[in-house]
Amino acid sequence: MSNQRIKTPCVGLCSTVYGDLVCRGCKRFHHEVVNWNAYSNEEKRAVWLRLEKLLAQVMTAKLEVFDARLLRQQLETRQIRFVVEQSPYCWAYQLLARGSRVIQQLEAYGVALLPEFRQWSLPQLRDAIDREFFLLSAAHYERYIAPRFLVAGIEQRI
């Protein structure tokens, strides 16, 4: 793996420039994308942690990482970037995001699909995971973030 640390969740598919409140690429909120470079390390960690928890929630419902050491070794060998400090389930997502079309034996990477997903193709599974991750991020925004922006907007007008 490259020694270069991943400094942002951005994956280069930003949809916030088209007006989305939640990016379809990295799943951050519009204001997080816009203000990322001004965020403190603590604020960045909070965003990373939220994204990790949501993604791990989706991943654990679809597959099992039975050998995290092997998964990490395979990612490093194939030079697939991942955040070492994150859950191995987030590493597995990076594996699927980069290799779903070429992986023949997922078990060789220390990962196994849960029984209800074993008939799915890996690209189909990757797309389903990405959609569910986006929906969870959007729901989180609607539940916890949007109400604060509405209140702040009303208070500014008063």
Q: Does pLDDT of 2 surpass 80?
A: no
CB 90 within 8 A of CB 52: yes
Find where tokens 């925004």 sit.
141
Strand partners, 111: 65
What pLDDT does residue 6 have?
62
With respect to residue 17, please indicate whether it lies within any of the assigned structural domains: no
Distance of alpha carbon 10 from alpha carbon 103, whole angstroms: 24
Give CA separation, 147 vs 19, 32, 151, 155, in Å.
Answer: 18, 16, 6, 12
Residue 47 lies in a domain: no
Residue 10 lies inside a defined structural domain of this protein: no
**Domain of 90, in residue numbers:** 53-157
Number of domains in the chain: 1
Asked whether 133 and 88 are in contact (CB, 8 A), the reply is: no
**4 part of a folded domain:** no
Note the pTM of the prediction, 2 decimals.
0.87
Residue 50 has pLDDT above 90, yes or no: yes
Instruction: Give me the pLDDT at residue 5, please.
Output: 55
SS3 category, 63: strand
Task: Confirm whether 93 is domain-assigned.
Answer: yes
Q: Does residue 35 belong to any structural domain of this protein?
A: no
- Report the pLDDT value the prediction gives residue 12, as an integer from 0 to 100: 79
Q: The tokens of 69 are what? A: 């050491």
Q: Is residue 37 assigned to a domain? A: no
104: in domain? yes
